[in-house]
Amino acid sequence: MGNGINETDQLALLALKSQITDDLFKLFTSWNDSVHFCQWNGVTCGRRHHQRVVLLDLWSLKLSGNISPYIENDLIGGVPTMEKLHKLHRLSIASNHLGSGHIVDLGFLPSLNNATGLVLLDLGDNNFGGMLTETIGNLSTKLRKIQLGYNQILGSIPYGIQNLINLERIWLVGNHFTGNLPFDIGKLQNLQDLDLSENEFREISHPL
C-alpha cells in the first residue's frame, strides 16, 4: 500500500468492506491490492485532491452487513470506517440491507463529521434503526441533501438539523419520527424539498 497511495482512505474502505456479510453483485471483488483503490467499484477519487475519495456510491446493490464507526484490526487497532475520509463529498448507500433495525445502527454518523465537504448523504431504504441525535448538526454545513427515507428511525427530529444551513432537501419519509417539528427548520432558507410523510408526528403548530 505504498508508492504514494493514500493509505488512510484505503484502510477506511477496507474496514468498511470487512463489515459487509453479503455482496450479491460481487462489488467488493475489485477491492484488493491488485488495482489502485481509486479504481475500485463504487469509489471515485477527486482530481483536485489526488488519490482522496470524494464519492462512495453503493446504491441499490443488495449489500448486507453493518457500518460501525470502529473496526477492530489486529495490525493497527481501532480503525474508523468513515472518519478518515476527509475529502468525501457524496455518500450514497441507499437501497441495501445495512441496518438491523436496532438502536445502534446510526452510530457511524458522527464519524462523518470530518468530511467537511459532504454535500449528499443518502442512507434511504436500509432498515436503519435508532434515533437521530443532536450530533447531526455537526455534519458539514455544505450538506445540501439528507435522505433517510424508509428506515426504522425513531424519536424526534433533532434541533441540531438547523445548523445545516445549506440544506435543499430533507427526505425523512417512511420512518417512525414522533413529537413536534423543530420550529427553526423553517429558517433553512435554501430548503426546497421537505418530505416528512408516513411518520407519526403531532399536529404541526407553527407554519414552516
Residue 203 — pLDDT band, cuts 50, 70, 90?
low
Interval 147-173 mean pLDDT = 95
Q: How many residues does the chain have?
A: 208
Threshold 0.85, pTM exceeds: no
Grid coordinates given for 98: 445495512
User: How is residue 39 written as a grid cell?
Assistant: 479504481
Burial classification of residue 102, based on how many CB atoms lie within 10 Å of its CB (0-12 exposed, 13-18 middle, 19 or more buried): middle
Q: pLDDT at residue 74 above 60?
A: no
Check pLDDT > 60 for residue 3.
no
Grid coordinates representing 37 are: 483503490
List Cα–Cα distances, 165 to 56, 85, 168, 183, in angstroms. Answer: 23, 22, 9, 14
Q: Model confidence over 77-110: pLDDT tens digits?
A: 333 457 778 889 999 989 888 888 888 889 889 9
Q: What confidence score (pLDDT) does residue 15 get?
A: 84
Pick the CATH number of 7-201 from 3.80.10.10, 3.40.50.300, 3.40.50.1470, 2.30.42.10: 3.80.10.10
**pLDDT tens track for 9-30:** 888 888 888 888 888 888 889 9
pLDDT of residue 73: 41
Using an 8 Å Cβ cutoff, are 134 and 106 in contact? no
Distance CA 131, CA 185 (A): 18
